[in-house]
Structure 1
């Protein structure tokens, strides 16, 4: 039986009826019935790649996939950068849906590969990258949290596993498996005291104050808060659907299936949302609850922008010495639930954690009424129910 031959493929120039002249790359493929078939792919315009040499360079990564069936040296990526380019082509195509990665994850992987990984390791041959060297490199990066370093390690490991799947490396040749990298937080997130929370809210403009209240009284992650649209809120049943998240301008699904469960909202939180809806210019059902005026409401703002421009300066003005981020609100919510002695299963479901320890799993599913009562006790503490807003909220909702 003859082994599949390595193929280079060939180029031709094609003048479209409408549009510029383009380079077309052609190669042999085997169809589902095992018969040879010619395939073609437009690489780019002649203006973009003036010479055939430039076109060959652009198609070098694709040729790795065309020849994935051969183990000849010509069919192997020579450098880690070549391997990364092939990985991007197959795994990080934003136009292709994937069960393994949502668009948001693909975007994150692409950013770390381009900004951190390839500049440091791209010129190395695959077997030249050693675990100790990667471990020391990660340890030398001072501007990243341990969790982010662990993510970079995971991305590198996945790229090496990609090479193993294609037969370019043998099983057991993933050096990243031996890299030690802690995920322990360098900075411990401290919950806010009630007095600190109230002082902080007084220093924030209305939009930011409502974001803080929603986060602190529902436990939503900031990506989920920014992903809310007005149509997600059911004013009659006082709950909202959490079906999407927004991170750095990318709209994606929530972190886990558990995260996408409906969340109860207290009457005081509802009142704040209704008051904000009267003020915002973007109050239609399909509008973002916290739309960005800068882009005419087409997207919510970036969390980092809100953190730098509003939240941390407000915390400083309020005299709060601990570090305050958006996760502080979620941590405060969780801490108050536990301090109030709530059932552990209720806490798990309100926090929408996917996993719980074996001991916690013996509890039965929390009833909606129990979750609402537990949440309301947190709101009582944070927002002071003595304010006469419940009746007005009910009237507005009607």
Structure 2
């Protein structure tokens, strides 16, 4: 190992360098380099060829091979350790196999000539993102992103070099998957937009981890204004809005458990997964509120969707009476019991949301005359959230902030833009007000010619 020596730098100071004089003579033809130790180290790093070293690192999905190497950080000129992803131990059991893969990926060229970084395939950066990032997300989001990556992105782009994928190629591919292109099982534009966003997350992760160059031009799904692939974000779908009279009719057509559940969702705007995840101990009668601590989704207990979703939900006295009445009737009334417990599992799990929609909510809505233009493909408990927002804002002129907090949205534009729809009679009334104002003014100045 090189021994430190003390020498005078060109600036007159005395610094302790990491390199023995023989090492310096080898690299610089026997001459001591001028400058202090920091400058010497930078020059030595710049002239030396490094192969790096392989290390195994553990992830929840398995062991992987990482290539460690040193680089000079441009911000402050300090030498720092960097890593590059090589592959998984299950694919490359021995270190020799891993080195062969590193050579195939030209990683030695990458770490010695950073400008040549970029021979990683899209499948590699996608798998790296999935292993490092997806486990931090909510279960439903993780499931959705895995479906997009494994079902769409990797089958199409996996074998391509990540830096060679072009924006126009991604744009044409997204268009080919849309319903407008009459593709088999065509997708809605919001779904395609989500696929584009996941692809962007993958590229951003790869650039942070040094798998591909940091220049924005290597990201084909960068913002459209900067030349990235374009994708529509609108859909023809409009949520069906129920008026209070229709909700009342539906309540009279379903059994007690379903009636209580539908009323709870209709007046609190709880998501069906949150309502099914409620236990009796979550009902705070003293403070007139319902605490959202968990949700029941896809047969699993999960945390609430977001920070805003954890906010307590208001509970009016009449709603509290309905819940008390159901507790007195239910066979599962202990504090730790599910409020809407499944009879088939003897109360061990809550009911299943999509079965409640198919067996009770949709048939009752059809009988109550909600589906005037035929049964829509999309109708469920979520329509009750849209209906509550539309009724409070357009009919009762409620404060937007109050409605936002009721729906527990993080931003008001989601409440107004996506969840609120004005009924036709409200638009006619607004138009009539304009007509009245025009003709009242005309009457004072003379008749309209």
CA pair 52-313 structure 1, distance change in 2 beyond 3 A = same
CA gap 1:225/1:136 in 2 versus in 1, 3 angstroms: farther
Distance 1:43 1:261, change over 3 A: same
Give the superposition deviation at 1:262: 1.4
For the residues of structure 1 that align with 2:113 and 2:337, how far apart are their CA atoms?
Answer: 55
* In structure 2, distance between residues paired with 1:315 and 1:294: 25
Q: 1:114: which partner in 2?
A: 150
| Matches of 2:320 and 2:348, distance apart in 1 | 24
1:174 to 219, 233, 238: 219
Q: Residues 171 and 28 (structure 1 numbering): CA distance in 2 closer, same or farther, change over 3 Å?
A: closer
Counterpart CA distance in 1 for 2:49 and 2:348 is 54
Which residue is equivalent to 2:380? 325
| Alignment RMSD (CA, Å) | 4.1
Q: 1:349 aligns with which of 405, 416, 421?
A: 405
How many residue pairs end up in the alignment? 326
Which of 119, 123, 146 is 1:81 aligned to? 123
Displacement of 1:158 = 0.3
Selected match of 1:243 from 286, 289, 293: 293
Change in Cα spacing, 1:295 to 1:7, as seen in structure 2 (3 Å) is farther
Deviation at 1:319, TM superposition (A): 2.9
Report how far residue 295 of structure 1 moved.
Answer: 4.8
Query: How big is each residue's C-alpha offset from its partner over 1:93-148, in whole Å with a ceiling of 9 and x where there is no partner?
Result: x4xxx4xx334432332222122322232232213433233333333234544333
Q: Tell me how far 1:84 sits from its aligned partner.
A: 1.2
Q: Which whole-Å deviations, capped at 9, do the CAs of 1:206-263 have from their partners, x for residues lacking one?
A: 3332221111101122232223222111123321112333433344333333332211
Q: Offset of 1:330 from its aligned partner?
A: 0.8
Q: Which residue of 1 aligns with 2:203?
A: 160
8 Å contact from structure 1 (residues 146, 186) kept in 2 = no
In structure 1, stretches of 5+ residues that fail to align are 11-22, 36-41, 361-398
Aligned-pair CA distance for 1:200: 2.0
What is the rounded CA distance, in whole Å, between the counterparts of 1:144 and 1:317 in structure 2? 31
Which of 271, 275, 278 pairs up with 2:325? 275
In structure 2, C-alpha distance between the alignment counterparts of 1:4 and 1:284, rounded to whole Å? 66
**Is the CA contact (8 Å cut-off) linking 1:226 and 1:289 kept in structure 2?**
yes
Question: Structure 1 pair 195/161, CA: closer, same or farther in 2 (3 Å)?
Answer: same
Distance 1:102 1:293 in 2: 28
- Shift of residue 270 of structure 1? 2.2
Instruction: Report Cα offsets for 1:316-346 as digits up to 9, x if no partner.
Output: 2333216432221111111221211223332
CA drift at 1:76: 6.1
1:196 and 2:246 aligned? yes
Per-residue CA deviation, residues 271-290 of structure 1 (Å, 9 max, x unaligned), is 33233333444332223322
> For 1:181 and 1:299, how far apart are their aligned partners in 2?
41
Higher gyration radius (CA): 2
Change (3 A) 1:206 1:146: farther
User: How far apart are the structure 2 equivalents of 1:184 and 1:25?
Assistant: 40
CA distance in 2, matches of 1:321, 1:291: 30
Distance 1:111 1:293 in 2: 32
Deviation at 1:90, TM superposition (A): 1.3
* d(CA) in 1 for partners of 2:300, 2:54: 37
Contact map agreement 1:147 1:185 (CA 8 A) in 2: yes
1:162, distance to aligned residue in structure 2 (A): 1.4
Deviation at 1:52, TM superposition (A): 5.0
1:141-173 deviations in Å (ceiling 9; x for gaps): 345443332222111110011121123133212
Q: TM-score, normalised by structure 1?
A: 0.68
Query: Residues 342-361 of structure 1, C-alpha deviation per residue, up to 9 Å, x if partnerless?
Result: 2333223223222237xx9x
Query: 8 Å contact 2:167–2:221 — kept in the other structure?
Result: yes
The one of the two structures with greater contact order (alpha-carbon pairs below 8 A, sep at least 6) is 1
The SS at the match of 2:412 is coil
1:365 is aligned to: none
101-110 vs 82-91, which moves further: 101-110
